[in-house]
Structures are given as C-alpha cells and as structure tokens.
Structure 1
Amino acid sequence: MTNELAPTDPAQLSKSFEPQELEKRWYAEWERQGYFTGGQHVHPTGHRSSQPFVIQFPPPNVTGTLHMGHAFNQTIMDGLVRYHRMRGDDTVFIPGTDHAGIATQIVVERQLDAQNISRHDLGREAFVEKVWEWKQKSGNAITEQFRRLGSSCDWKREYFTMDDNLSRGVVETFVRLHEQGLIYRGKRLVNWDPVLGTAVSDLEVVSVEEDGFMWEIRYPLTTPVGDIEYLVVATTRPETMLGDVAVMVHPEDTRYAHLIGATVTLPLVGRQIPVIADDYVDREFGTGVVKVTPAHDFNDYAVGQRHGLDMISVLTLDAKIADTAPTAYQGMDRFEARKKIVQDLTEQNLLQLARPHKLMVPRGDRTNTVIEPMLTDQWFVAMSKPAPGGTLNPGKSITDVALEVVSDGRIKFYPENWTTTYNQWLENIQDWCISRQLWWGHQIPAWYAEDGRIFVARTEAEASQKAIAAGVSGPLTRDADVLDTWFSSALVPFTDLGWPEQTPDLARYLPSSVLVTGFDIIFFWVARMVMMSMHMTGKVPFQTVYVHGLVCDMEGKKMSKSKGNTIDPVDLIDGIGLDELLEKRSTGLMNPKQAASIRKKTAKDYPTGFPAYGTDALRFTMAAYATLGRNINFDLKRCEGYRNFCNKLWNATRFVLMNTEGHNLVAQADAAQAPGELSFVDRWIISQLQRLETEIERGFTDYRFDNIANALYRFVWDEYCDWYVELAKVQIQHGTPEQQLGTRRTLIRVLETVLRLAHPIIPYITEELWQKVSVVAGKRDPHDNTSICVQPYPSANDAMLDDQAEAQVALLKAQVEAVRALRGEMNLSPAQRVPLIAQGERDMLQANGQYLAALAKLETVDIVDQLPDVGAPVQVVGTTQLMLHVEIDIDAERLRLGKEIDRLQNEITKARGKLSNASFVERAPAAVVEQEKLRMAQFGETLQKVQEQLTKLA
C-alpha cells in the first residue's frame, strides 16, 4: 500500500513482513515473561476469572516429528487458549508426549540392528537404558517444533507418560482395578504381530485390499447322507483349516438342515468335527457352509464361545505351523504351509475350485506383516462387568458410566453426530487387551510364584508380603509384559495433575475444558479416558470434545510417507528447496521404483520446493480449513493467500502509523469525550467492528474457526484496507482539523482492536504490530513491556452500532463501484480523470462527492437536477443516476442497456416466482419474505430508469 500523505516511515517497523526473526524473538520473550504459566497471571483489568480454562495435549508419540495434523490440532487448541487467556480466565495449556511403546522400541531396535546388535544381546535393563538415552537426545524434538507453531503451553507442566509421577498413577490404577476384579489374566484371541512378537491394538492394524484366492474345499461326511458325500467349504486361508473344530450352516438353510449334528472328516488331519448351525452364516455367500476355527478368527472365536467348541491353535507366535498340526506341516512358515496344503488337497481330489479373489488383509502398520488372530495369555480390562461396592460407581460397568456421562450432557461432542459413533462403539465393546510383549513401557506390576500363582502389587516388596501371607515361599518373577500405550494415555487427564495424590491442581483443573482430537481415536483414546477418569476420580476428564477431520493432500488422499505426499509444517514455515524436499520424501523408502515415482511427482507438483510462509500464514490457513467434522484437502495456494493477508495487514499498519504518530492522540485518549469529529465513514467502520466482534465471539463459542478466520479476513482486507483506509485518506486530506483528528483516532483504535481480535489465530505478527500501534492508540505506555497475549479480548458494544452510517457507506460503495463499472465499459485508463454528472438527492451526493472523486478517479462531481440528453452510458444506484461526461459509442451503450434490462427482468421474475409460491411465503421467516418484496420493488424501480435511458438514446 502506498502512502501519499506522510513523509516518513513509522519508527522501528520494517518495510516488509519477515516472519522468521520475529517468531524466534517473540516466543522467547513470551516464555521469559511467564505469560503461559497457568494459575499465576492476573488480567490487566485486575480481574482473574474463578473459572479455569484447561486444555491438555493429545500426547504425540515421542518418536515423531510434526505432521499437518499436529499443525491443525495445535492451531485450534492454541487459538482457544489464547482467546481465553485474553478473556481473563485462569488458563492452563498442558503439553506432553507419549512414550509410544511399539513405535519407540522399533526405532531403537533398528539403530541396534545397524550395529548388528539385538536387544536380546543387551538384555532388558541395558536395552531400556538405551531407549532412555535416545529419548533424551532426540525424542523431545517434537516439543520444540510445537514452539515453532506458537503453542502457548505451560511448559513447566510438561509431562512424559513414563515420568515417575505418571508411572505411579499407572501402577495404582492397575492394582486397584485388579483388586476390584476389573483387570484379569486370561487366554483370549488378540491381534498378533509375528515380527514384533506382541499383541497389537486395532489402531495398529491396517486393512489393505489385496489380490488373493478363494479355495473351495471338500469336507467328506464321515457317513454319507443319501447322495451327499461331502460339504464344500470356501476359505481364503487354507492353512488355518488344520485347526478347524466344526463346519457351520444357517439353521434355516433347507439345503443342509438334515445334516446338522452329523460329522465330517477334516481333510489332511483326519479328525472328525461336527456340523453345527448358527445364524451368523450368510446363506447367500459362497456355498452357505463355513469352517469354524476359533483359535484363528475373531468371528469364529465368538461362535466357539457360544457352542462350547475346543480351540486348537496351529500357529506358533512366530507364525510357523505348530506341533498340534500333522507332522508334515510342523515348523513350516504359514505361507509355505498354505502352498503345500493346497497341493496336498489337489492330489487327494479334495480341492473343488481355486479362483482369484479380492480380500482385505490385516497388516501391522509398523512391520507390514500380516497380522494373525492368536490365542495367547494376556491381561484384560473387563469392560461390561459391574464395579463392586466401595468404588465410585458401584453396580455399573465402566462402559455404562461412559455412556451415561455423554447421554446426560456432562460431556458434549462437537459436531454432535460423533456422539452416535461413540455410543455405537461402547454398546458393542469387548474386553480390552492391555498387555504387550515388549520391553519399553510400563511393566505390568504382577509377580509369579513358582507354582503359578499371581500377586499384583505396587512394588516387589508388597508382592512378597502378599505371597508370604498366602503361604508362598521362594522367589517371585515379575511379569515381563508391558502395558498397552493406550492404557497409560487414558489416565493422562488426571495423572498429569498429580493423581493419586489429591493435589491442588487436580482439584482445580479436572475436568479440563476441551479435548481437541481427530475422529480416528474416539474409540481408542477418548472413550477410555472417560472410563478411567470416571472410575478413578469420579469426574469426567473433559467437558467438551471437539472432533476434527484428517488433513489430506490436495487430491483428498491421506498423507503418508509411502505415498510421498506428506508435508512437514516446519518446511512451510521456513521454506525448503526442491532438492532437499526430494531427498526428504524419498529417503527410507525400501522400493527404489516407488522412490523414483515419488521424486518425479514431487518435482512436478512443487518445481521450486516450498516458499517460506511463516507460522502465522500456516495457522490462518488451518483455522480457515476448520469446518466442523470435515476432512481437509490441503492446498498450498491457501497458504500463499494468507501470507498475502499478513503482508496486507503489515502494510496497512505502516500506513496507519505514518498518519497517526506525532498527532497527540495519546494525550487525548482518556478525555471525557472522544476527541475529534467522527464522519459517517468513521462511524461506519466502528459499527462494522462491533459486528466483527460479535461474529468472532460466536465463532469461538461454536468452535467455528473457519468462521473466525473468514470474518477477520473479510473485515481486514475488504472493509478496513480496501475501503476505510482509502476513505480515511480523503478525510485526512480534505477534512477540518477536528475531522482529521477523529479519523486518525479511528484508524489507530480500530486497528489496535483488530490486532487483539486476530491474536489467537496469528500471534506473531499481531504481537509485533501491537507493540507499535498500542502506544500510538493510547493503550500502552511506551515504558510498559507487556504483551498483547495478556490484553483484554475485545467485545462488542451495541451502542456503537450505527445502521444509518452503514446504509450511507453501502450506498457510497455502490456508487463508487457503479462509476468504476462505467470507466471499465468505456475503457478509461486509471490515470484519466473525467467529470461525473450525478442526479439524485443533493445532500447525499454532496456528502459523498469527495469520496467518489478520490476513489473513482474523477475530475469533478457535478450534481444536476436532470442528466443531459447526450446518449452517454448511465449507471443507476437506487434513486441516483450517474454519468461520465465523455464521448460515447451510442450503439455500444444501447447494447449495454439492453443486457442490463434483461438482467433486471430476470431478477424480477425470480423474485416474483418466490413470492407467488405459497410454501415459501408461509414457511420462510417474515424478514426474508419482506426482503424479497423489497428486492423486487428495487429491481422494478431500477428497470424503469434503465428503460428511460434506452428510450432517450433511441
């Protein structure tokens, strides 16, 4: 933005917005001043709300680096935190990281593999020390990256899920739940990763569609029934047939009803197994006969439980055929065994058909190996068992309570539809497997005696005391397993506040205010936090759950390293060249062909890499994308647009400072009556500011960050910069001293308010600009080193709404746009100033004349009672007619007027159609109907004037 009015630049504000330096400088200053520390800050008004506002991190894996989901999540959380901090609430933003058992162990094991060392070579204790060393050296890098995003966390409260105080809470929870009979050890079917050698959660299993086969196998009836000698069973996993214990049909399937209770001889094994009936069978799929293998299929496991069937496991934990199978297959890899089984079935004429088949294959997200349902001894939490007396919720299961607190409104979901997802999962829940066969994590606090008895205790000494009391002597051996990472993270809402100690923080800050999370972990984390918090503390962990979508690439595909479409937010903040980006995206990919493809596509999509957008532009982009519940197709062009917004705000501030500094506004700031005379233009922007403040407050209340961002963008770019600043130039150039003073004061005061409004979304640029603007606006003493982040957040004052000024400026805008349209139609250059002849309300046109002349590049504005009949093009705005005094092409003007008549007639037809629709008139709000009537009347009035113009030309 150029400035024609002031000769000098504002002091100490650089000519261009360069985000990197000021981001580093301001974050360090915020931390140094302790602005982010909860429970200590007193608002500048001297008031601190008795109501805390608390947000806790969804703890990211300590192995990780920032991804776009973090950038989105942090923008929402930090925006809320900064808003409530400025509102004067006792604001606490608690950061933390998760030890991420499987992910972290894999990272360190791979480092050891590079040195030809296995964890077993080191032993458990030495290996865990190695993991701690790695965590201290590089595992905390992600928290530094959160600082880059401007996250205003209370870093003094930072936690790690393996810290001593949190670990104490994990042990206490396990012991109490075990004592209450809600944690037990049993042999059940779990997801098993044969490479990692551990049970894994559903979240760590990715179902991938792959090409496979459907094999139809003949199971001979032990005794033929009539002409039926065998049943045909279809399977995609023939190796598991070695563990079959039944074949199953639908009880109402007339083809097989007479065979229920008969037996078949299991091919290749020779064991006789029964034909059973269960309505789980889909009669229409395949042959209508299915095999039952309870030890290797989750659905079959449930069938086995219902029918009391044996469970025969035929796979070892490393996915080889076990010694429970025929000798010919023992020790073979599961997929080699599959080939041999198919070959043997073929040779024995028991394979009826083999056909290609698409199937969903469960693979481990860390190892890509096929996951096996495996029958193993594990620890479980009973999800549906009523809690005993003496607990906080006796007689109710932890699942019942978790459903109850959402049903009665103690916890609310935004968007509300996720409540249904939450409820459906809990209503169909199974007991939770919480043990993992790893070394890194919270080791299960259970000790085994030589006779197999188990003693669960807080310490080994306590376990020994329990053993002695039970009459057990001899050594105790601690359970080697660790707890599922989701178990400890489910406790975070209260363990990071000091539980099981009854600390002041626990009493004040539980429950937290909002949980901000993606929809993909509602099952694994959100519900379990509710269960554990209600059971252990009697309080909900949070009051609101804001559920957001996933950040995808611009084509709508999920971002992943294997697809080469991931974006590191820091690369968008700092910028990255193409060569470095290519290296980053292709490093670590095992498939050279895939790496080459990714490099080629990256070079095509981003031929120069990423420019440096800065943190504020990235945050503004994420806020603008935050439409409730939808996935985000991330497009770099949005970042570019919001970087331009930051530049616009910077340049506007430079202009305002150049025209307000040195004008004694500070001395006048506290006068009983505001200094200067406010024009209708000044009153208009002040009125618009009140509407902006109301809209933004509603946006924060409704978690509509997209509405907040759009409202800020529209006001700053369109209303303030493109209109008010340009109109203010006119007032400063041509107004009286009192008018100039009023305009300068309005310029700086509105800008200062906008900076505070925008701070929660774009913290760095607003802080830098506010430091200069606030002094000139009289909001801060030059010697006061306070920050914008602890200033009062603006709120609307309805007394400053001015409908008359808004209507007057709306008319002025329409007149300016109309004259600009005339200039465009007549191909006038921007430098060519021409006279305007205006017919209409004289007082209004005189008030608008100087603005019209300046903004529409006019030589003069001549107000007349009647436009001259010279055939020149005319624009009609309400009751005003505007004509440029230039030579015209009469034929072209006739054509233009004809098109305008057609447009107006179409608008009248549409409005008349609505008003003649009884359904619209009856159902639409009265204000909407009246507005439509007004529009039709205005179109008719304008049409009449345009037709008169055309008649004159004729």
Structure 2
Amino acid sequence: MRMTQTDYAAMERPIFEAWKDAGYFQRTPGFGEHAGESYTIVIPPPNITGVLHMGHALNDTIQDACIRRARMRGFKTRWIIGTDHAGISTQTKVDKRLAEAGISRLEIGREAFIGECYKWREEYGTTIVNQIKGMGCSCDYSDEHFTLEPSYVRAVRKLFVDWYRDKLIYRGKRIVNWCPSCTTAIADDEAEYVDEAGHLWYLRYPLTEPVDGLEYLVVATTRPETMLGDTGVAVNPKDERFGHLVGKTVKLPLVDREIPIFADWHVDTEFGTGCVKVTPSHDPNDWAMGEKAGLPRINIFDETAHVVEGYGKFSGMDRDEAREAVVAAFEELGLLDHVEDHDHSVMTCYRCHTKLEPWESEQWFVAVDGLKEAAARVVEDGSIQFHPARWKQVYLDWLANLKDWCISRQLWWGHRIPMYYCDECGWEDASVDEVEVCPVCGAPVRQDDDVLDTWFSSQLWPFATMGWTEEGMDAPQMRTAYPTQVLSTARDIMGLWVARMVMASMYCCDNTIPFEDVIIHPTVMAADGKPMSKSRGNGVDPLRLMEDYGADGMRFGLLMQVTGAQDMKFNEAKLESSRNFANKVKNASRFVLMNLEGYEPGAPEPVTPADRWIFSRLAKVVAAVDAAYDNFEFGEITRELYSFVWNEFCDWYIEFSKARLAADADPADRAACQRNLVFVLGQILRLLHPIMPFITEEVYGEMPKGDAAAPMLIVASWPDAAELSRFVDEESERAIAMVCEVVGAVRSTRSRYGISPKVALPVAVKVAAEADAALLLAQAHLIGQLANVEEFEVAVETSKPAESAVVLGSGLEVYIVLAGHVDFDAERARLARERDGLAKDVAKFEKKLSNPGFLAKAAPEIVEKDKAKLADLADKLARIEAQLAELE
C-alpha cells in the first residue's frame, strides 16, 4: 500500500546535514573503555554506473547499524566510502553515448575517449552516493575515494610490479572466456551460466584409410561450427570399441585436414558416440588434451567471433551463421549422421549477457598458487570469521579450485597495465612510474594497451584507501586502523572480491588480514522467491520505499526479514509494520514529553514493581541485543527491539504510568515516574538509533538533557549491559507478567462479548504456586485500575465459576464471570448463525481451490488471494467454535 502523505525526506535531510556538518561521520575521537580502539568498515565500492537496489539497501543498512553502534560504544570509527570505475560497464555506456552522437571511440582515440569517460563520471558517477546519503548512512563523505584517483592508481601499479617481480604475474597464450560484444576477456568466475535448449549434432569424419571395413567415425558436438579448427579426435583409453583406431587419422571434412585419433582420459565414454572432436583453441578441455597430445592450435574466430580468412565461404560469418552453414554442408555431403535435442548450460558475459567464446588469446595472469594458501589459512584458523558460519567452507572450496586468474582486459577505461616495451632493442619491464624512453637504448617505449581486471584494482580497497603505497604498513592510517573490523557483502562476490582482498592483504600488508568478520547477507528476492530483475518486472525500488515508509521504516523493515537463510523473500508489509512502529515510538515519546511538567533531572529509581519490571526487561533486552550484534543476527535485533518497545514499554509501562502522572498523584512518585520514563525512553532511543537513526535523533533532540549529555544521539553512549544488569529482578518480572496476562484476558473478553469497560467484572485466577498468588494479589490495585475488576480472587486451588469465560495464560487460568452481562441463549444463537455462514464460505473456497481447472487457468495472484481469504475465514470459524464451546 503506497503512503505518500508524509514527506520523510524533508524531516530526514536536515538531520543528516547536521550530523555531517558536525563532523560525526569522520574518524571520531572515541571515549570510555574503547577510546583507544579503532573500528573501521570499508563499503563495497558501488560502480559509478550503478543506482541503489535492494541488495545495496540491505547491505548498507547492516554496515550503518554496525558503525553507528561502534561509534556509540566509544570506538574511533570511520566508514570509508568510494566508488569503483567499473571498467566494462562504464566503457559500454560511454560507447553507447558516443554512438548516439555518430562517433566511435576508435575515431577519437584513447585519450579523448578516457576524457569522455571522466565526463560521464562527473555527470552520473555521484548518483548512487547521493542515494546512500538518503538512507542516512554515516560514511565519511569528506574523504571519498575512487579506484582511479592518483594514489589508488599508484597502489595498483605497485602491486602489479611487485607480483611481476615475484613471478606471481606472467603473460601467456591460453584459452580465455572472450566476450565478442565487449571484445575483452572475462574471468572464469565472472561468467554467468544460462540453461539453453540446444542440439547434439552427430558428424561423420571419414577415416583416411578404412579400418576393418569402417569408413568413418561419428563425433557428437554441441558446436559444429568449431570443427573448422579441429586438430584431433579423442577416445577414452579404456573404450574397447576404438582402441584399434588410436594412431590412425581422419580427413576433416570441409577443410581437408588430416588429423590424428588419440586416447585421453578426459573423454566420457557415455557422451555421444564416445568419440569427441578436439578444437584446442576453442574449448578448455580440448586445450588440455591438445597440450598433452602435442596437437597444433588453430583459432578460427576473430575478436568479434566471426570466422577468419582462409575458410572459403565460411570466412566472415558470425558463429551462428557458421553453424548453420557447416551443418548444411555436412548434410549436403551426406556426412550429417543425425541430430538430437540436448539441453545444456552456456556461459554468458555478466555485463552484456552475450554468449562467451572460449578463445585462445595472449593475456596476463596471476599465478594464484603462490597466494591462496595464506588466504585459506587465516580462515581455517579463525582469524577471519564468516557469518553465517556455513560460508567458511564455500570460501575454502572456491580457493581450493581456483585456477590462474586472467587479469588483462581489452579496454581503454581502467588501470592500464604498467608494462613497457622497447621495439628497438626488445627491452621490457614493469614500472610504478611512467616510462617514456628505453633505459637500455634510449629509444621511445610503448605501454601495454590492455587494462587490468576491475577486481584486480578493487582487491586493494581495504588498504589502498588508507594511504598504503610507498609507506606500506607504516602509513599513519595503516598503523592505527588496519585491519578493518567488518566486511558485509553479497555471496556472489565472495570469491571475486573477498578472497582476493585476503590474498592481496596477506601479501601487501605483512601477512595482516584485511578484516576480522565477513557478513554474507541474504540475497533479496521478489515476493515469489524469484530473483528481482527488470525483465521479470518484479524489482522493487528502494527510493520509492523510502518515499512511502521513510528511511527508518525501510531499514528496520529490511532487517526484520533477515534470518539465517541464504535468500530473503521481500515482504513489503514488514516495511508498513516498521513505519507503524516508528509512529508508535514517536507517539510514546510525545506522551512522555507532554507529561514532564515540573520535571527535575535525577538518577532513575525503580520504586514500584512496574518500574522494577521495565528496568529488568530493559537490562535483559540490552544484553540480548548486544549478543545478537556480536553474532551479526540482525533479524533477531529488530525482533527483540520491536517486542520490547511496542509490547512492553508502549503498551504496558506507559499504561502503568498514567495514574502516577496525574495531577493528584503523589508528587514524589510522580517525579520518580517522570525520571524513569525519561531514562527508559533514552535507552530505547539509543538501542534503536543504529537502525532507525532519523526518528530517534529527532526525539532525542526534544528530550530533557543534563549538562553532560551528548549534543546529538549519534554520539551518545550505548546502553551498558553490565551496569544495567543490577536491575534484573525476576520476581517483579513474574508479577507484572501475570498482571499483563490477567488484564489482557479481561480486556479481550470484554471485546469478544461487547461488554463496556465501565462495567466492573468479577475475576478469579488459578495459579500454579502460592508464591505466584502472593505476587499477583499484591498487584490487585493495579489490575483493578487497568481492567475495572471487582471481587478479585487468586488461589492455587479454585474451580471455574458458573457462566464465566476462561483464558489460559502462562502458569495461570483467568476466569471472567459473565453472569448478568451476557444473554447466553441469544449469544449462542448468534454465534451459531455466524458459524454456519462461515462454514459455508470455507467449504466454497475449499472446493474452488481443489479444482484443477481453476488452478490451471487462474492468474497466480488470484489463487494467492483466494488462499489468503480461505485462511482468514478458517481462522474466524475456529474462533467462533471456541466461543461456542466456552458458552456450553
């Protein structure tokens, strides 16, 4: 339900600017027991091409909750923000903009194109940072970073040079995942797999000389077009069907190339015919088999996946055209054996979604075997902890299977590889500084044309943003604030980014980990459990949610939905509930502030059982919230706070306080009640602030404060669980819990039978122990005051009075006498009629929803609506039947 009556931004923006202008987002000085300790978080740098989505909204809320709580606990905090240059994405957008103006980057040249990229960044690159500000995120905006800023560029170049010197970076020709659209290599773990309904073509390859009457072999392939580059046919060494053919040759159709038949364990005897065509330049498995067998490599495609010159009519065709033409040619020659349907997965580019081409290319690689052992060790020994813990093994498995990392990209926008070449004498070397002339012969040199993979530069993010370059660990920020404390991120970049940051930090920072805890937050899915996407039309815009529910409502509502599950089905109703919760806090605060006439500041003093109860509950909630933060259980934090604030403080403690605040109340008790309300509300505001910063800061500004109070809530002290533990009082908790159950039972019974609150009702309570009886009887005045009860009796042994309703509680039974207030015959008749009507409606919906025809034809939303209606009707029917049973 959209609600736009409140202009949340108008309230939130001035508060945000006040925090920022006061310098609270910068490294805070710290106070208390943690004054000498730093607490730093680095934001996963959003792309300059990006806009805020639900994953960002959840992740940024988690990080802000952590940093705000740490700031309130007295740590020297800083949340480092910045953006990533987003190599492929930005180049694609600028290419598109130039194309719309009828310009090609090839026409204007590299330097001019890079200038256009910077113009694009100036125009659009701050969009997501401004949206993050709108969420209230307390990042240090005074020192924003960018992965192409000069100091960062130098850090990236230094790492490349250091790894090159240590032989951890090398150049070589290998199969890479090539995007013909972006015309660049893509790392293995950046490829996205898409299921595709395809075919398996069975092609006949004639033997050069028939063997035992056999004239040809049949190979099965999903890519007949690549046969133009075949240099062998492989069979499994244990496959007795083909053992006698190993060492023989076939004549490759269409290109008339003689290629050998050889044996290799890679071949699956169950796939196709057991014979596979081998194209080393266009398949990684074929590459491995070709290397072992000494096969030549033939690259049949250019960088845009068109067939190169030398293949007759096939030259110039793209992959799809070549496939059709090759199949047609085989059929014309009588060499197409047959075709089968075959579903399989294909790799696509994570940016443009074009099918990737396994393509032989000369690229730069990182030799990861020299880095991954240390990155695994610090997770295995617990130096770095994952939350939830199950992601630890996923991380370790990813590292164990990691192959050498292709880091070169055929782009212009990004960190240009700092390799220099002299074409005169053949000198080449890596350099942190720019090189213009050859140090050997003095001739001009050229720099490598490629740029580095964006993940190569982003792996330095935790320390390159803290001044690490020349000084290394001696840089001032590195000495005082490294490692960082928490990294929160999505699971899909756990290998791409998290593991690489660990590898880079262990190498660059004297075997120091980059962070202590890694939070892998759930992926936000649509309500139907499917991924959010533009094509499905099921995405949700966080900006719209903030308009409708406020930043606080969105933040709290998102965290309410976090569990230990891997995915989170987004439920907008939780945000509506959170907005209502924010209003509840505001209304409760207004009640407290309106009842502070004559208020005199002083120490809180729990003088009544109700005081002792709320103080005890507060102490336990603070301890529970602290424990949940320690375990990064954000859903548990919101659930604890919601229950305590709404159900205990707002619904009950404020209710208990009203008589004590009346004009004719005892002045001393009134003053104590005022101080206690201010104290408990102040603690609540602190507990809520990390998640709901705006509403809590607004209320805090209206609260009475002593001279020593923090000027703003953002730097107020966090509730002290150890100090509050002295207020824990189990006896008062039990007494008031029973009071609430009795009052609630009487009120719900009045509502059920339409009895006015002005009518006093006799009540008897059966308890489990004499101690409970004594506790409850001591609060008889409170129960009488809140529930208008007369003839209140409490006993361990008591029977249900005639004509009474019974409500079961925790260790007690509440009997509310209804004699003289309810016409039981008329009530039974009325309920029976209502029951019969509901039963008919339930039967109608059950029949409808059990009809296969209806389920097959009806829109899913209609089915879900009817299911919800049936559940509501069934619930009402059950309650009516319970009332009838009670009246019997």
Unaligned runs of 5+ in 2: 830-884
Report what 2:853 is aligned to.
none
Matches within 5 A, 1:866-881: 871-873=803-805, 878=812, 881=815
CA positional deviation for 1:433: 1.0
Counterpart of 1:27, as a letter, is: F
Distance 1:457 1:560, change over 3 A: same
Q: What SS does the aligned partner of 2:124 have? A: helix
CA positional deviation for 1:368: 3.2
Separation in structure 2 between the aligned mates of residue 460 and residue 41 of structure 1, nearest angstrom: 37
CA positional deviation for 1:290: 1.4
Separation in structure 2 between the aligned mates of residue 864 and residue 28 of structure 1, nearest angstrom: 57
Separation in structure 2 between the aligned mates of residue 218 and residue 404 of structure 1, nearest angstrom: 51
Return the match for 2:671 from 735, 741, 764. 741
Report what 2:817 is aligned to.
883
What do you get for the CA RMSD once the two structures are aligned?
2.7
Separation in structure 2 between the aligned mates of residue 461 and residue 745 of structure 1, nearest angstrom: 67
Report what 2:264 is aligned to.
278
Q: Which moved more, 1:65-74 or 1:276-285?
A: 276-285
Asked whether 1:551 is paired with 2:476, we answer: no
Q: What SS does the aligned partner of 1:216 have? A: strand
CA positional deviation for 1:173: 1.1
Return the match for 1:41 from 25, 29, 50. 29
Return the match for 1:426 from 399, 411, 414. 399
Return the match for 2:240 from 247, 251, 254. 254
Return the match for 2:762 from 832, 836, 848. 836
Return the match for 2:467 from 483, 490, 498. 498
CA positional deviation for 1:103: 0.5
CA positional deviation for 1:890: 6.1
Return the match for 1:853 from 775, 779, 784. 784
Asked whether 1:53 is paired with 2:39, we answer: yes
Separation in structure 1 between the aligned mates of residue 801 and residue 593 of structure 2, nearest angstrom: 48
Counterpart of 1:550, as a letter, is: T
Contact 2:561–2:574 at 8 Å: present in 1 too? no
Return the match for 2:439 from 468, 472, 475. 468
CA positional deviation for 1:210: 2.5
Counterpart of 1:410, as a letter, is: S
Contact 1:314–1:321 at 8 Å: present in 2 too? yes
CA positional deviation for 1:491: 1.1
Asked whether 1:360 is paired with 2:289, we answer: no
Aligned length: 814
CA positional deviation for 1:696: 0.4
Separation in structure 1 between the aligned mates of residue 775 and residue 582 of structure 2, nearest angstrom: 36
Separation in structure 2 between the aligned mates of residue 194 and residue 453 of structure 1, nearest angstrom: 31
Asked whether 1:27 is paired with 2:53, we answer: no
CA positional deviation for 1:873: 4.1
Q: What SS does the aligned partner of 1:554 have? A: coil
Q: What SS does the aligned partner of 2:61 have? A: helix
Separation in structure 2 between the aligned mates of residue 527 and residue 23 of structure 1, nearest angstrom: 37
CA positional deviation for 1:511: 1.2
Matches within 5 A, 1:164-243: 164-202=150-188, 204-243=190-229
Distance 1:259 1:665, change over 3 A: farther
Report what 1:772 is aligned to.
702
Contact 1:240–1:296 at 8 Å: present in 2 too? yes
CA deviations 1:373-410 (Å, max 9, x no partner) are 111111111112xxxxxxxxxxxx11111112212222
Asked whether 1:126 is paired with 2:52, we answer: no
Counterpart of 2:674, as a letter, is: R
CA deviations 1:814-833 (Å, max 9, x no partner) are 212332344355x1244552
Q: What SS does the aligned partner of 2:368 have? A: coil
Contact 1:837–1:885 at 8 Å: present in 2 too? no
Report what 2:82 is aligned to.
96
Distance 1:454 1:795, change over 3 A: farther
Asked whether 1:761 is paired with 2:691, we answer: yes
Distance 1:195 1:879, change over 3 A: closer
CA deviations 1:546-590 (Å, max 9, x no partner) are 11121111111212222222222112112xxxxxxxxxxxxxxxx
Distance 1:18 1:845, change over 3 A: farther
Contact 1:834–1:885 at 8 Å: present in 2 too? no
CA deviations 1:614-635 (Å, max 9, x no partner) are 1001110222123235212112
Report what 1:696 is aligned to.
625
Identity of aligned residues (%): 40
Contact 1:836–1:885 at 8 Å: present in 2 too? no
CA positional deviation for 1:785: 7.3
Report what 1:115 is aligned to.
101
Return the match for 1:803 from 705, 708, 730. 730
Separation in structure 2 between the aligned mates of residue 726 and residue 155 of structure 1, nearest angstrom: 44
Separation in structure 1 between the aligned mates of residue 813 and residue 171 of structure 2, nearest angstrom: 84
Contact 1:219–1:232 at 8 Å: present in 2 too? yes
CA positional deviation for 1:886: 2.6
Counterpart of 2:717, as a letter, is: P
Instruction: Give the structure-1-normalised TM-score.
Output: 0.81
Separation in structure 1 between the aligned mates of residue 291 and residue 103 of structure 2, nearest angstrom: 43
Contact 2:366–2:406 at 8 Å: present in 1 too? yes
Report what 2:868 is aligned to.
none
Counterpart of 2:486, as a letter, is: V
Report what 1:645 is aligned to.
581
Report what 2:652 is aligned to.
723
CA deviations 1:25-71 (Å, max 9, x no partner) are 11100010001111x4243x5x6532211100111101111111110
Contact 2:49–2:89 at 8 Å: present in 1 too? yes
Distance 1:689 1:229, change over 3 A: same
Contact 2:486–2:519 at 8 Å: present in 1 too? yes
Contact 2:95–2:104 at 8 Å: present in 1 too? yes
Distance 1:133 1:832, change over 3 A: same
Report what 2:835 is aligned to.
none
Counterpart of 1:354, as a letter, is: V
Distance 1:869 1:491, change over 3 A: closer
Return the match for 1:320 from 299, 306, 322. 306
CA positional deviation for 1:892: 9.6
Asked whether 1:528 is paired with 2:489, we answer: no
Q: What SS does the aligned partner of 1:102 have? A: helix
Separation in structure 1 between the aligned mates of residue 252 and residue 228 of structure 2, nearest angstrom: 8
CA deviations 1:488-532 (Å, max 9, x no partner) are 001111111111132100122221111111110111111111111
Contact 2:488–2:521 at 8 Å: present in 1 too? yes
Asked whether 1:379 is paired with 2:364, we answer: yes
Distance 1:454 1:352, change over 3 A: farther
Matches within 5 A, 1:602-617: 612-617=548-553
Matches within 5 A, 1:306-345: 306-323=292-309, 325-345=310-330
Q: What SS does the aligned partner of 1:640 have? A: helix
Contact 1:447–1:456 at 8 Å: present in 2 too? yes
Unaligned runs of 5+ in 1: 1-15, 385-396, 575-611, 896-949
Q: What SS does the aligned partner of 1:295 have? A: helix
Q: What SS does the aligned partner of 1:812 have? A: helix
Separation in structure 1 between the aligned mates of residue 20 and residue 560 of structure 2, nearest angstrom: 27
Report what 1:65 is aligned to.
51
CA positional deviation for 1:882: 4.3
CA deviations 1:746-789 (Å, max 9, x no partner) are 2221111000011001101010011122x1xx4557xx771111
Return the match for 1:287 from 273, 296, 302. 273
Q: Which moved more, 1:869-878 or 1:56-65?
A: 869-878
Separation in structure 1 between the aligned mates of residue 365 and residue 718 of structure 2, nearest angstrom: 49
Counterpart of 1:178, as a letter, is: Y
Distance 1:873 1:442, change over 3 A: closer
Contact 2:40–2:481 at 8 Å: present in 1 too? yes
Counterpart of 1:855, as a letter, is: L
Q: What SS does the aligned partner of 2:549 have? A: coil
Separation in structure 1 between the aligned mates of residue 494 and residue 775 of structure 2, nearest angstrom: 60
Separation in structure 2 between the aligned mates of residue 890 and residue 439 of structure 1, nearest angstrom: 85
Distance 1:17 1:562, change over 3 A: closer
Distance 1:275 1:75, change over 3 A: same
CA positional deviation for 1:474: 2.9
Q: What SS does the aligned partner of 2:779 have? A: helix
Distance 1:876 1:437, change over 3 A: closer
Q: Which moved more, 1:829-838 or 1:711-720?
A: 829-838
Counterpart of 2:29, as a letter, is: H
Counterpart of 2:501, as a letter, is: M
CA deviations 1:859-897 (Å, max 9, x no partner) are 6445599889754445576377542453455679999xx
